[in-house]
């Protein structure tokens, strides 16, 4: 997979040389190219921003450097990349999107600063490319570089051969499959006792069925406590009888259509 990042802070992307992504690059599984937006300015001060039309605080990134930089990136490869525009006003970046983007051969990221990029840039490339405006969460960061690091890591670990154990992401929170859209429960390793705290006995029972059931119950408990929105309104499909009993213990009820809901007074601490 090829990844291009256009930024005014190329050094911010240094972590892409480390750990899993760094190793994938070294093995040739990922071709990461970071470009300095300021190399596409032509004034003495390498200006990339200007005041907003319509007034108001903050500055807006000028279209010309972005246009020149993106044209150069597009001209340097075959085919059309998917362009990923990090923005708090985008659609939420989810595991499902990470899976989808991991299938693409080429992604171009455009992390912005200031109040963002002149809208015409998104329109211009949106007419030629699949452009995704994506948010990494409901908060506002100073720039899009950290969101790019987040998205690249989420995508890269899904590429074939990047994770040591190909099964590692199968049971992740949000992973499609057995634990579909449930958060992953707690995990433990050796020693069996640490500061007087022991590991739940079932995990050393060697009984695969009981271990799987325990993990599933913990996933239901954690999801119910931390992300009830992942359960509210879901139908009975994907939940077996035992799941439904666990959910009932946690205060969940099924309505006439079999959809789960929970009265506010039933919320556990």
Ligand X SMILES: C[S@@+](CC[C@H](N)C(=O)[O-])C[C@H]1O[C@@H](n2cnc3c(N)ncnc32)[C@H](O)[C@@H]1O
Q: Which of 102, 141, 159, 199 binds ligand X (CB under 6 A)?
A: 141
Residues 116 and 110: beta-carbon distance below 8 Å: no
Reply yes or no on whether 197 is catalytic.
no
Q: Which of 55, 57, 139, 167 binds ligand X (CB under 6 A)?
A: 139
Query: Judged by CB, which is closer to ligand X: 100, or 184?
Result: 100
Q: Which of 34, 136, 152, 154 binds ligand X (CB under 6 A)?
A: 136
Distance in Å, CB of 16 to ligand X, minimum = 17
**How far apart are alpha carbons 82 and 3 in whole angstroms?**
10
Reply yes or no on whether 115 is catalytic.
yes
Reply yes or no on whether 160 is catalytic.
no
Distance in Å, CB of 132 to ligand X, minimum = 11
65 near ligand X (CB under 6 A): no
Q: Which of 143, 228, 236, 251 binds ligand X (CB under 6 A)?
A: 143
Which residues fall in the annotated binding site for S-adenosyl-L-methionine? 136-141
Residues 100 and 68: beta-carbon distance below 8 Å: no
Query: Judged by CB, which is closer to ligand X: 89, or 165?
Result: 89
Reply yes or no on whether 88 is catalytic.
yes
Q: Which of 89, 167, 191, 193 binds ligand X (CB under 6 A)?
A: 89
115 near ligand X (CB under 6 A): yes
Q: What residues make contact with ligand X under the rule CB under 6 A?
A: 86-89, 111-113, 115-116, 135-137, 139-144, 147
């Amino acid at each position: 997979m090829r990844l291009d990042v256009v930024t005014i802070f190329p050094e911010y992307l240094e972590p892409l040389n480390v750990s899993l992504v760094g190793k994938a690059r070294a093995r040739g599984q990922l071709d990461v190219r970071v470009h300095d937006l300021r190399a596409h300015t032509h004034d003495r001060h390498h200006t990339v921003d200007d005041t907003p039309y319509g007034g108001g605080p903050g500055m807006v990134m000028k279209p010309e450097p972005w246009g020149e930089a993106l044209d150069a990136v597009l001209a340097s490869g075959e085919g059309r990349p998917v362009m990923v525009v990090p923005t708090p006003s985008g659609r939420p970046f989810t595991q499902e999107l990470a899976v989808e983007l991991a299938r693409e051969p080429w992604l171009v990221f455009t992390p912005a600063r200031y109040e963002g990029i002149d809208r015409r840039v998104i329109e211009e490339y949106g007419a030629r490319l699949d452009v995704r405006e994506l948010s990494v969460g409901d908060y506002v960061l100073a720039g899009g570089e950290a969101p790019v690091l987040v998205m690249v890591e989420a995508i890269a670990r899904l590429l074939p051969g990047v994770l040591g154990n190909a099964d590692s992401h199968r049971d992740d929170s949000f992973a499609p499959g057995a634990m579909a859209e449930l958060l992953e429960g707690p995990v433990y390793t050796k020693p069996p006792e640490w500061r007087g705290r022991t590991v739940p006995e079932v995990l050393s029972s060697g009984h695969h069925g009981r271990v799987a059931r325990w993990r599933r119950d913990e996933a239901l408990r954690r999801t119910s406590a931390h992300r009830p929105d992942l359960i509210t309104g879901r139908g009975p499909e994907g939940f077996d009888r035992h799941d439904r009993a666990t959910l009932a213990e946690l205060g969940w009820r099924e309505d006439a259509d079999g959809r789960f809901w929970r009265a506010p007074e039933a919320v556990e601490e």
